[in-house]
Structure 1
Amino acid sequence: MRLMKEKITDFFHSIGLFSPLDFTDPVTYFIPGFILLILGEIFLYQIPQKVFTKRLIKDNVSSIGLGIGAVMLDFGMKAISLSYFFWIYNHLRLTDIFGIKDFNDFFTLKWHLDHWWLWLLVMIVQDFGFYWHHRLSHKIRLFWTGHVNHHSATHLSLAIALRQGWFEIIYRDIWYIPFIIIGFHPIMIAMMHQFNLIFQFWPHTNAIGKLGWFDKVFNSPSNHRVHHSRKVEDLDNNYGGILMIWDHLFGTYKAEEKKTTDYGIYHNIHTYNVFHIVFDEFGNMIKDIRNAPTWKAKLGYIFNAPGWHHNGKDERIATLKRELKEKKIN
């Protein structure tokens, strides 16, 4: 096992990349807990509530399939992301205030106890970066092709948290570049991103109700049910990974009014085939680009919000919400 690890590490180093095996991924330590919680949700909530249906099982299985594929892709992308993170940190950083002076100290408990404030600051800036990554993944169709996979499940369960988009892995780390330039250490940003993902696991459930003040400050099952709802009034809300303060600040927070069972995307794709789930929206975008009559329209299908059409009905979420509001007024 050690020999294999050395060969993999040597391979990445030989092509000038950071080895992902040099990075201790905290997610790996939580996998047994994820499995236990998924089983607990099934036996303590879904079966007693009689919601453990064949469709839910299929959604769960396809989500786990997407998760396995994402882990494999993420292994390679870590090498690329951490490599350009370190290059930027070593050549372009503006300050050493938020860095690690002696990296050997990073592996001691004392350093972390002395720098608890730095971890808190990293959590805040990383979550801010995640908010904008998440929000733009809903607002720009090119990015939506990578994120839609996570939303195409028609149920909400802890297994759905594993339903990670494959294309999204390619671009998700670019949002942290400004913080690397400011001087935050790449390893701390990368680790906090993984801790953010770990935190986002538990809100993917119907088993937990509203949590009072907690819902207003942090991401929670109540907030995330709104985010995964396909009801027009709920779409494009609650983007925060850990904190809800960004949604409050930028006008995208929506409290849960009534627990929904209508999950998915505006036009559900009704498939459990992993590869269909991954490539469906990307294929639709390519088809729209090919059929667009002008370069302006072609670019529109890449950079406009999902649902934009150069002719025909405008199905962008902002338009659908405006039409719903006008309908209620009339």
Structure 2
Amino acid sequence: MKEQISDFFNKIGLFSPLDFTDPVTYFIPGFILLIAGEIFLYQIPHKLFTKRMIKDDLSSVGLGIGSVLLDFGMKAITLSVYFWIYNNFRLTDYFGIENFNDFFTWKWQLDHWWLWLLVLIVQDFGFYWHHRLSHKIRLFWTGHVNHHSATHLSLAIALRQGWFEIAYRDIWYLPFILIGFHPIMIVMMHQFNLIFQFWPHTDAIGKLGWFDKLFNSPSNHRVHHSRKIEDLDKNYGGILMLWDHLFGTYKAEEQKTTDYGILHNISTYNVFHIVFDEFGKMVKDVKRAPNWKAKMNYIFKAPGWKHDGKDERISILQNDLKQKSNSETQ
């Protein structure tokens, strides 16, 4: 069966996803055990395992299954484009793999540990901008908002992946392929990044001191998923908090919150409603826009922009909150 599937992709000119060993698959049993452990050791004893949470988590699992199926096909396109650019247009061989058979030996891995460290840094940098722009451009937000639409935080929410997001999340790594980083290393590091991002989706772990300043953690990610105005659009890093510190988007957790979700939460657990809700709202806004400039703004400006009524972009709301706070202290 594997050979038949690989032959099918090769015949249509695409890299077969089955020829890529996805490290995420090896961690699935661990994900299941950790989710179960969180339920029985934390949520049930603290009386947090409610019907609403169960429905939210089941929706997350449904979104996760859909994203896995869609990602299978997307990997074929992504790796095909990556290899085409790498083989024909790469600017240097310094970051590449001379003999791909050597890549699967311990000797090559030990000799090239520094290359993995470099790939981690550049891939996480690409992920930071993918994640940040997914919050700042409404078209991309229609794909990412699904992940934020849960009204609680648990390890199961890590599975709540947007389907539209799969279509554009790999474009941010194209410059690194052009520079000469090998496609397999970039894609594998992206998957390792996703694996790392699983455990910060929990309320069960408190602050971790110095670790919170350097790495993505439950404390940092609670801020990212919080609905409080002052917490919105913060802590975008996948593994490292370095980029948030550099670009002014880092915010330490001041007080643990239980208010999660999006600015205007949606009251549905239907997987397809969750996936298409924001996209449908964007289409309606584009249709009612009075001119082409407004139509483009509804697509490419930050979520919350309106041609009429209150501007609910996060930057505007946070500025209003800051001015209100300043006036109250004077």
Distance 2:87 2:288 in 1: 45
Q: What is the TM-score normalised by the length of structure 2?
A: 0.99
Task: For 1:73, give the aligned amino acid.
Answer: L
Q: Which residue of the partner structure matches residue 131 of structure 1?
A: 128
Mapped pair 1:97 → 2:94? yes
Q: Which residue of the partner structure matches residue 52 of structure 1?
A: 49
Q: Which residue of the partner structure matches residue 213 of structure 1?
A: 210
Distance 2:5 2:299 in 1: 37
Distance 1:53 1:326 in 2: 38
Q: Which residue of the partner structure matches residue 171 of structure 1?
A: 168
Structure 1 residue 26, shift from structure 2 partner: 0.1
Distance 2:225 2:268 in 1: 17
Distance 2:92 2:282 in 1: 41
Matches within 5 A, 1:253-264: 253-264=250-261
Q: Which residue of the partner structure matches residue 296 of structure 1?
A: 293
Distance 1:38 1:154 in 2: 17
Task: For 1:239, give the aligned amino acid.
Answer: Y
Q: Could you give the per-residue CA deviations for residues 53-77 of structure 1, whole angstroms, max 9, x where no partner exists?
A: 1111111000000000000000000
Structural RMSD (CA):
0.4
Structure 1 residue 91, shift from structure 2 partner: 1.1
Task: For 1:59, give the aligned amino acid.
Answer: D
Percent identity over the alignment? 83
Distance 2:67 2:243 in 1: 27
Mapped pair 1:36 → 2:33? yes
Matches within 5 A, 1:109-258: 109-258=106-255
Which runs of 5 or more residues in structure 2 are unaligned? none
Distance 2:322 2:187 in 1: 41
Q: Could you give the per-residue CA deviations for residues 169-198 of structure 1, whole angstroms, max 9, x where no partner exists?
A: 000000000000110000000000000000
Which runs of 5 or more residues in structure 1 are unaligned? none
Q: Could you give the per-residue CA deviations for residues 37-89 of structure 1, whole angstroms, max 9, x where no partner exists?
A: 00000000000111111111111000000000000000000000000000010
Q: Which residue of the partner structure matches residue 310 of structure 2?
A: 313
Q: Secondary structure at the match of 1:172?
A: coil
Q: What is the TM-score normalised by the length of structure 1?
A: 0.99
Q: Which residue of the partner structure matches residue 319 of structure 2?
A: 322
Structure 1 residue 92, shift from structure 2 partner: 1.2
Structure 1 residue 158, shift from structure 2 partner: 0.1
Task: For 1:90, give the aligned amino acid.
Answer: N
Q: Which residue of the partner structure matches residue 22 of structure 1?
A: 19
Task: For 2:149, give the aligned amino acid.
Answer: S
Task: For 2:10, give the aligned amino acid.
Answer: H
Count of residue correspondences: 327
Task: For 1:194, give the aligned amino acid.
Answer: Q
Q: Could you give the per-residue CA deviations for residues 130-172 of structure 1, whole angstroms, max 9, x where no partner exists?
A: 0000000000000000000000000000000000000000000
